[in-house]
DNA sequence: AGGAGCTTGTGAACGCGAGAACAAAATCTC
DNA sequence: GAGATTTTGTTCTCGCGTTCACAAGCTCCT
């Protein structure tokens, strides 16, 4: 129903609206909200139009009302129990991340296959054996699992999760997961993001060099247009030198 | 030159090739590599064709050769010095992440504004005051900065980075950054990914409920088609119930 | 009340990316 | 060496997402 690209931006709008609300702003135009969210206003309006007509022409959007509508649409008005598997450095960081709790995600269990970690308590939650997964998933009706294990273990963990009835997986391990239809997987790969930046960085260097050697003009001609809103952050990197 | 969507997949292919090489495989077809990378073979071939003709018809690709070509194109054959700002839980995890080093990213400095952290040594690198940023950037010719601070500090950090000459930023803070043209920003937002999963999870529940209440048929009809390769992982979540 | 001035919501055009299908080229078989 | 087989590289088509442009609708002012 709602395009995938729009779904991916709704949480950004939600965050921007929360920031506006925190500053005491009660009403905003699509232009203001778009700026706060880092997109252009046409896209914002089209995105919001998929949810319904929650704005008022000539006026704008009621911040709190729109915030509630988006939250409801995404599903963050309800409570989502989450299990995190793999309590290494990243697992620790995730368990402690306050942004989960504040958006309706409750970490009900931390699991790790390593026995030496089972005495640990992270962010107020005890680390338990991985084999407890099924019991926990059934007890708390967990639908979302987070994988923060090494790559080698990721597929096994995913298989076990699916077997227990988990239908959404957030994967931080640098591995491609095979899952049945009906199971959603999203992956976050830290090193891939850096590699994408490196690619553009390399191109900038090449272009800058070529331009400098050919006609002495700096290849990065946009630097004076400072403070332009970071455009297109969601879709990908902004590319300084185009074409 | 190379489409952005392709650039985003090249690191995935690189990882898949490395995995194949580790298993002693010298040659692979586009079909095999595509499976390993979680994409379909047509897309893979098209992506690779942007780099040049590095395969042999009727045979396939030489794993090592293709790996080198992709690495060169991305720019990970060279060494990229990186600074990480914000050594909280996430900063710790990033500093310790081995996937950076193994792909040519070298963490040359960890910076934090909090004085109480300046005695710390994380992953063999001392935590230094944020004000040392400029000296470090110039000394090591740093082009890539990682922001792992709270959201409130992110824009200030970004501004300082840009002022020092950093032209690529990986932002983990849940904030929209405004940067000049010519500076690339990529963002990773952990809670946004979870919210996207929550949205689809909510829809699954609704559809399942509707189907169950209408005709008693389970809404998730694809679960028996187990072990289908996780399709379209890069582009977004796979959606179990379509239309 | 009526017009001026905004701002939303949407129809239409456009461009990019995905996937299918096929031609080109290499190897293998006999 | 010729045909069969395999697999790449590329062309073409389709669909989605972005952006533009404008009509519809609300408020404010006179």
pLDDT tens per residue, range B5-58: 999 999 999 999 999 999 999 999 999 999 999 999 999 999 999 999 999 999
pLDDT band at B121 (very low <50, low <70, confident <90, very high): very high
What pLDDT score does B210 carry? 65
Query: Does the pLDDT at position A74 exceed 90?
Result: yes
Q: Does pLDDT of A11 surpass 50?
A: yes
CATH topology of domain A80-188: Rossmann fold (3.40.50)
CB contact under 8 A, A198 and B225: no
The pLDDT of residue A223: 29
Burial status of residue A154 (CB atoms within 10 A of its CB: 0-12, 13-18, 19 or more): buried
The arithmetic mean of pLDDT across residues B194-204, rounded, is: 96
Chain A residues with CB under 8 Å of B229 CB are 178
Distance B235 CA to D17 C1' (A): 13
Query: Alpha-carbon Rg of chain B, whole angstroms?
Result: 22
CATH of domain B4-74: 1.10.10.10
CA of B142 to C1' of C2 (A): 64
In angstroms, the CA A209 to CA A207 distance is 5
Nearest-Cα distance to chain A for B197, in Å, is: 6
Q: Where are the beta strands (DSSP E) in B73-118?
A: 80-85, 105-112
Domain boundaries, chain B: 4-74, 80-188, 191-243
pLDDT at A215: 44
Confidence of residue A115 (pLDDT cuts 50, 70, 90): very high
In this prediction, residue A53 carries a pLDDT of 95
Contact A11 B195 (CB under 8 A): yes
Task: Please report the pLDDT score of residue B205 as a whole number.
Answer: 84
When pLDDT is cut at 50, 70 and 90, the band that residue B124 belongs to is very high
Domains B4-74 and B80-188 share a fold: no
**Number of Cα atoms under 13 Å in the Cβ half of residue B151:** 15
Which of the residue ranges A157-161, B40-44, B46-50, B223-227 would you say has the lowest mean pLDDT?
B223-227
């Amino acid at each position: 129903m709602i395009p995938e690209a729009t779904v991916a931006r709704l949480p950004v709008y939600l965050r921007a609206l929360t920031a506006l609300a925190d500053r005491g702003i009660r009403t905003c135009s699509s232009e203001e909200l778009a700026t706060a969210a880092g997109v252009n206003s046409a896209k914002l309006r089209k995105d919001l139009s998929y949810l319904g007509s929650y704005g008022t022409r000539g006026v704008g959007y009621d911040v709190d009302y729109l915030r509630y509508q988006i939250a409801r649409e995404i599903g963050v008005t309800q409570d989502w129990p989450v299990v995190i598997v793999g309590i290494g450095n990243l697992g620790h960081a995730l368990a402690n991340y306050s942004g989960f709790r504040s958006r309706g995600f409750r970490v009900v269990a931390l699991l790790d296959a390593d026995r030496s970690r089972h005495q640990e308590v992270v962010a107020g939650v005890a680390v338990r054996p991985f084999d407890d997964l099924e019991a926990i998933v059934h007890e708390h009706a967990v639908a979302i699992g987070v994988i923060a294990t090494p790559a080698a273990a990721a597929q096994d963990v995913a298989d076990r999760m699916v077997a227990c009835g988990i239908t959404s997986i957030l994967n931080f391990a640098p591995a491609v997961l095979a899952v049945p239809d009906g199971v959603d997987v999203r992956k976050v790969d830290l090193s891939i993001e850096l590699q994408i930046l490196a690619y553009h960085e390399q191109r900038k260097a090449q272009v800058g060099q070529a331009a400098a050697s050919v006609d002495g003009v700096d290849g990065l001609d946009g630097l004076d247009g400072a403070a332009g809103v970071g455009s297109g952050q969601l879709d990908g990197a902004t590319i300084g030198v185009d074409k």
